[in-house]
Amino acid sequence: MAGDELILGGKVFTNRLFTGTGKFARNEDIIPMLEASGSQMITVALRRVDFKFPQENILNFIPKSVTLLPNTSGARNCEEAVKIARIAREAGCGNFIKIEIINDSRYLMPDNAETAKATAILAKEGFVVLPYMMPDFVAARRLEDAGAAAVMPLGSPIGSNRGILSRPFIEMIMENTSLPVIVDAGIGRPSQAAEAMEMGAAACLVNTAISAADDPVGMGEAFSLAVRAGRMAYLAHLAEESRYAVASSPLTGFLRKKED
């Protein structure tokens, strides 16, 4: 769709599917997934090196043309998130940061209050802040005031693949803030990504549903098509819903005897 670009932090995104590097069985699948999906932004995490079991440097699997979105996963409060963000930028990962502050291990629910504090600090330092949040439009307004570049409300718990359980609350955010809304977490099927885009989401961030598929490359492409279809539908404006049938063929000139 020519001209339908998403601009975040001065960067132009022509593809509205953002992806993640988590949980791939083979990191070698990331590059072909990015190629098949056309995704232009991908998340990474920062961890201490375990010298006994060193993990691969994930940056070796991401083409330079793709924007990195480091997350602050592991942070339990504002201070820890701010530290991670600063390290990521110092390490040359650019200005984008996904703030993710979590205290709860069962549902991995984000802490909106700590997230707002971290957003204010990091936005002042010039970061392009994308906060992962519980869909609450009052909190979204706070994030907007704090300088967030977008908000990333969850559809359902991270990695749950349960879809957009929070739909009405995400719609309230769309109604009550002017920030781009990127639906993050819980999107398990391409049809759910299409649903988010039809609702008016600016983008979707999909990780597990792609990386944990048997064929992550094929699934990446499927999500990309769904996001595109949903976006096109949103721009074309969906026809109204009705409780009763509304005939789509003419209601006159039937080939039958007139009843009196």
Partner 1 sequence: MTILVNDEPFELEREMTVAEFISEELETEGEFVILVNDTVIPAEKRASVVLKEGDSVEAVRFVSGG
Are residues 156 and 208 in contact, defined by beta-carbon separation less than 8 angstroms?
A: no
Q: Min. distance of Cβ 60 from partner 1 in angstroms?
A: 8
CB 23 to partner 1: min, Å: 7
Q: Which is nearer to partner 1, 51 or 244 (CB)?
A: 51
Nearest to 190 by CA among 235, 231, 234, 225: 225
Please identify which of the residues 52, 64, 83, 98 carries the catalytic annotation: 98
Report the 10 Å Cβ neighbour count for 238. 9
Query: What SS3 state is found at 11?
Result: strand
Nearer to partner 1 by Cβ, of 121 and 144: the residue is 121
**Which residue lies nearer to partner 1 by CB, 57 or 176?**
57
Cβ at position 45, least distance to partner 1 in Å: 3
Q: How far is the CB of 3 from partner 1 (least distance, A)?
A: 30
Q: Which is nearer to partner 1, 217 or 234 (CB)?
A: 217
Active site annotation includes 64 = no
Buried b (16+ CB within 10 A) or exposed e, 92-127: ebbbbbbbbbbeeeeebebbbebbbbbbbbbbeeeb
Which of left, alpha, beta for 104 (phi over 0: left; psi -120 to 50: alpha)?
A: beta
Binding site for partner 1 (CB under 8 A): 20-24, 27, 43-49, 51, 54-60, 70-71, 73, 83, 86-88, 90-91, 93, 158-159, 185, 205, 207-208
**Cα 193 from chain centroid?**
9
Catalytic residue set: 98
